[in-house]
Amino acid sequence: MRTTLHNGGILRLVPPMRPRKFFLILLFRLFLLRLTAFSASPVQERADRFLKLANAGYQALYRVNSQAQWLAVTDVTPEHDAAVAATGKAYAAFNGNPAIITEARDLLAHEKELTPLSVRQLKQLLLNAAEGPMTNPDLVAKRVEAETKQASILNSFEFKLNGQKITANEIDNKLQNSTDLEERKAVWEASKESGPALKPNLVVLRDLRNGVAREMKYPDYFSKK
């Protein structure tokens, strides 16, 4: 017990603080100190504003580009191919904008002041930029056009089995379900018929993919995966 001066000058006995109560108060104070220590730094606040804008733009363009690609896959026409190329160029123009690349790199230079989530998002932005860095817009445009052409060749290709047309879905079903080895071999060979049609543009596309990757300091396209 301890004494303390009460109102009117009367001494009053005050019971000592219980250990459990003291521990809870100490724990609360430590929590407040930790909360203050981890409050957002100016760099983190800058990253939050930047990522909010970048994510909004990315999501909007991704949606438009995905819709165009779906139409081109399900209904192969020159008009749908043109729409894929147009939305693909717009998508690349945003993701590969030099301002986005510069800001992401600048923020990552202060990685220790950022949350792990922000760091992952910034690194992903740079990976996205490597798909179409607008530091070389002509190269990016050629790459998008070659990607569109390659997809169109594959989407419009007519597979044949024993002289009869067969769809890609039917090929998958037969390879998965058939127990006839001769039939499975014939179906597998039919599935490879698109190779000769795809090869010429694939060689061009390989060089363009490696070219855009090198713009972002990657040795080749698959090094960034």
pLDDT tens digits, residue range 50-83?
999 999 999 999 999 999 999 999 999 999 999 9
Apex 220 CA angle, 69 and 119, nearest 5 = 75
Other C-beta atoms within 10 Å of 111: how many? 13
pTM: 0.73
pLDDT tens by residue, 154-173: 999 999 999 999 999 999 99
pLDDT tens by residue, 121-133: 999 999 999 999 9
pLDDT of residue 11 exceeding 80 = no
**Mean pLDDT, the chain, whole residue set:** 87
Q: Report residue 224's pLDDT band, with 50, 70 and 90 as the boundaries.
A: confident
> Given the structure tokens 């300091």, which residue do they identify?
217
pLDDT tens by residue, 172-194: 999 999 999 999 999 999 999 99
Q: Could you tell me the two tokens for 64? A: 């438009």
CA-CA distance, 8 to 218, in Å (whole number)? 80
pLDDT of residue 103 exceeding 90 = yes
